[in-house]
Amino acid sequence: MWAQEVLALSRRWLLMTLRERLNLLFSVLQPAVWLVFFAGSLGGAMDARVVGTTDYLAFAVPGIIAFTVVGNGVSAAMPLLFDKETGYLDKLMSMPIRRSSLIVSRFVFQMGMNSAQVLVILLVALVLGVRPATGLAGVLAILVTAALLTLAMTAAAMALACAVPSHGTFFAVTGFASLPLLFMSNAFVPLTAMPAWMQVVARANPLTYAIEAMRLLMLDGWSAGLPVAMGALVLASALLLVVGAWQFGRQTSERVA
């Protein structure tokens, strides 16, 4: 029953996405374009002693992946936002479905989409000569890391979508927060290059741990830092998931559990 609900809703998300081909095309291409231009131009200005590698492109790949996941988090919450405003959420809530199906289907769909994009990014990077130090198993580990980050970002965006009075506020907040979230992390520069206060902020940012994990997998191999970074990411994801579930519960509590 539950699987049928999640599948049906995932079909809805998939069809909606596939119908908007241009949207899909640009969404898939965007990170690759970022990788080429952003890493290409910034790479020349980077000091290898600060970055810790001469291969800035490889260094930037995890940052671009995180960047993509953050951007997709915003679009992940959009259907919920609009279902809420158009009243279709009420129709769904009047059906004999589990409340969680709505959220879980969105996670499932978003993880699928993001995984596809991560693979495109890695493929473009491969073409540009970047080989993950951990090989094919590393690619899988990167996918898992990106999926965890997707969970965290989607949950955060869904919580925000539930909490705001309308989509105007949602976009104002996400527009305001997205770039600082990225730049207050190790997405494009290592933590050591930041002023002390910024390092403190970046250490509290879940992006930092996802990027750290992916960067170790890209550049260093299976290192001891990996479980630490992954552990922090799992913790952050779990926390955001709780916040998301709580906000969704609040949103739907008027609609009776």
Q: Which residue, 1 or 136, is less far from other proteins as judged by CB?
A: 1
* From 78-86, 167-175, 222-230, 243-251, span contacting other proteins (CB under 8 A): 78-86
Among 41, 47, 87, 129, binds other proteins (CB under 8 A): 87
* From 49-57, 89-97, 124-132, 237-245, span contacting other proteins (CB under 8 A): 89-97
Among 42, 92, 193, 194, binds other proteins (CB under 8 A): 92
Q: What string of H, E and C letters represents the secondary structure of the chain? A: CHHHHHHHHHHHHHHHHHHCHHHHHHHHHHHHHHHHHHHHHHHHHCCHHHHCCCCHHHHHHHHHHHHHHHHHHHHHHHHHHHHHHHCHHHHHHCCCCCHHHHHHHHHHHHHHHHHHHHHHHHHHHHHCCCCCCCHHHHHHHHHHHHHHHHHHHHHHHHHHHHHCCCHHHHHHHHHHHHHHHHHCCCCCCCHHHCCHHHHHHHHCCHHHHHHHHHHHHHHHCCCCHHHHHHHHHHHHHHHHHHHHHHHHHHHHHCCCC
Q: Which residue, 4 or 169, is less far from other proteins as judged by CB?
A: 4
Residue 165 binds other proteins (CB under 8 A): no
Among 96, 129, 165, 195, binds other proteins (CB under 8 A): 96
Number of residues that bind other proteins (CB under 8 A): 30
Question: How far apart are CB 101 and other proteins at their closest, in Å?
Answer: 8
Residue 1 binds other proteins (CB under 8 A): yes
Instruction: State the residues that interact with other proteins by CB under 8 A.
Output: 1, 4-5, 7-9, 11-12, 15-16, 19-20, 79, 82-83, 86-88, 90-97, 254-257
